Amino acid sequence: MCLETALVAAGMNAATAATTASAVGYAGTAISALGAIQSGRAQARAAEFNAEAAIKQAAANEAAQRRKSALLLSQGRANAAASGIEIDGSPLEVMADSAAAAEMDALTIRYGGQARSAQERMTGRMALSSGYTGAASALLMGLNNSSRGSRSSAAAQAAAPPASVIN
C-alpha cells in the first residue's frame, strides 16, 4: 500500500504513523462529506433552474393558448356577423361558454407550469437533503473506520476472564 510504504519510508514509528494515517483518513472522510454536499447543492441548483424554466414555459404556453382562443372567438364573432346573426341571446351564451373554456385552458396550462416548477423545487430540496445525509453518512463511516481498533478492544475485554479468579 502506497500510504503505508510512504510512512515506513519516512522512518516514522508505529504510533506516529498510525496518527498520520488516521489524519489522512479523516481528510478522506471530509472530502467524501464535502463531495456529498457539493453533489446535493449542484442538483438543487439544477432543479431550481428547471423550476424557473417550467414557470416560464407554462407562461409562454398560456399566452399562446390565450391568443389561440382569442382568435377562435373572434373568428366566431366574424362568422356570426357575416351570417347576420345577432350577437345576443343563445349565440352570445355560446360564445361566452367558448371564452370561458378558453380561459380554463389557459389557467390549466399555468397551473401545469406551477405544478411542475414545484415538483422541480421539491426534487432540488431532496437532492440538497440527500447531499447532507450523504455527508453525514460519510463522516459516520469515517469515524466507524477509525474506531475499528476500539471495536476489537471491546471484543478482547469481553473475552477476558473476570477480575479475580482466585476467590
Question: According to CB under 8 A, which residues from 36 to 75 bind other proteins?
Answer: 36-43, 45-47, 49-50, 53-54, 56-58, 60-61, 64, 67-68, 71, 75
Name which position in 9, 11, 82, 90 contacts other proteins (CB under 8 A): 82
Cβ distance to other proteins smaller for residue 71 or 100: 71
Cβ distance to other proteins smaller for residue 34 or 94: 34
CA distance 65 to 107: 9
CA distance 128 to 163: 52
How many residues line the site for other proteins (CB under 8 A)?
A: 76
Cβ neighbours, 10 Å, residue 69? 19
Q: Which of residues 140-159 bind other proteins (CB under 8 A)?
A: 141-142, 145-146, 148-150, 152-154, 156-157, 159
CA distance 79 to 167: 114
CA distance 51 to 38: 20
Q: Is 165 helix (H, G, I), strand (E, B) or coil?
A: coil
Task: Give me the 92-111 binding string for other proteins, x by CB under 8 A, dash otherwise.
Answer: --------------------
Residues in the chain: 167
Cβ distance to other proteins smaller for residue 17 or 99: 17
